[in-house]
């Protein structure tokens, strides 16, 4: 188990190297791998830890180098993000219709659900768009939207808009900055910076909640 965890962490920290290796060894099959990572991260409620943001940035950077086709990457990952959120919403609707206990979902902490609900309370339906840029929340937002009885048609509009902005902006950032020599040579450091910036809102919210609880 420790070896598996160490392997996962190593792949996460050196995602750029591993993705280039996948391109070398599997060719066009890498598009399917990218599709599945984004689809699973957004669609499977128990998989909020997959590296979506950093993967998109690196995919854009590799597209700038000619290793991936930018149009193909955008279309496939846009479809993956929309389909993933749609599946996630359907899972939430399934739980709601059967009045199942959401606190017993494997790998999903109740506080993450509460944090996502608080996000909804503050931002309303725009949460589906904004959550795309917040790890964990983006995986749970469609699920919570279904639990809150958001109409599927309304959800679809937010879903498509959010996916377009999320996929497009991070791929474009990787594509535009990927050819800058310093960034190209230090992709691992850039990826870590993206990860830190991505989780920062969640850490701040957690610290605030903990501080509020301690003062009661």
For the stretch 87-99, pLDDT in tens is: 999 988 887 766 5
Residue 27 has pLDDT above 80, yes or no: yes
85 touches 42 (CB < 8 A): yes
Tokens of 201: 């809102």
108 or 133, greater pLDDT: 133
Residue 5 has pLDDT above 50, yes or no: no
Residue 10 has pLDDT above 60, yes or no: no
Task: Tell me whether residue 173 is exposed, middle or buried, using C-beta atoms within 10 angstroms of its C-beta: 0 to 12, 13 to 18, 19 or more.
Answer: middle
Lowest mean pLDDT among 32-41, 113-122, 142-151, 171-180: 113-122
CA atoms within 13 A on the CB side of 187: 25
**pLDDT at residue 4, rounded to an integer:** 43
pTM of structure: 0.76
Residue 44 has pLDDT above 90, yes or no: no
Q: How confident is the model at residue 100 (pLDDT cuts 50, 70, 90)?
A: low
Distance between CA atoms of residues 205 and 114, nearest Å: 11
- Going from the C-alpha of 131 to that of each of 14, 37, 89, 136, the distances in angstroms are 25, 18, 14, 9
Q: pLDDT tens digits for 123-172? A: 777 888 888 887 777 888 888 888 877 888 999 999 999 999 999 999 99
**pLDDT at residue 84, rounded to an integer:** 93
Stretch 39-58: mean pLDDT, rounded? Answer: 77
Lowest mean pLDDT among 115-119, 180-184, 196-200: 196-200
**pLDDT at residue 162, rounded to an integer:** 94
For residue 179, the tally of other CB atoms under 10 A from its CB is: 12
Residue 21 has pLDDT above 60, yes or no: yes
């Amino acid at each position: 188990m420790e070896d598996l965890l160490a392997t996962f962490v190593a792949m996460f920290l050196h995602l750029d190297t591993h993705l280039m290796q996948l391109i070398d060894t599997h060719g066009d099959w890498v598009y399917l791998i990218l599709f599945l990572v984004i689809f699973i991260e957004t669609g499977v409620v128990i998989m909020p830890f997959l590296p979506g943001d950093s993967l998109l940035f690196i995919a854009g950077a590799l597209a700038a180098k000619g290793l991936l086709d930018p149009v193909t990457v955008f279309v496939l990952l846009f479809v993956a993000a929309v389909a993933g959120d749609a599946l996630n919403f359907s899972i939430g609707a399934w739980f709601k219709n059967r009045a199942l206990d959401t606190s017993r979902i494997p790998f999903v902490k109740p506080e993450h659900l509460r944090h996502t609900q608080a996000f909804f309370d503050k931002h309303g339906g725009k949460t589906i768009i904004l959550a795309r840029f917040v790890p964990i929340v983006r995986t749970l937002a469609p699920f919570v939207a279904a639990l809150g009885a958001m109409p599927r048609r309304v959800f679809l509009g937010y879903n498509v808009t959010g996916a377009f902005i999320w996929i497009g902006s991070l791929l474009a950032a990787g594509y535009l900055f990927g050819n800058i020599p310093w960034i190209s040579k230090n992709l691992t450091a850039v990826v870590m910076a993206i990860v830190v910036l991505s989780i920062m809102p969640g850490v701040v919210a957690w610290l605030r909640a903990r501080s509020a609880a301690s003062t009661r």
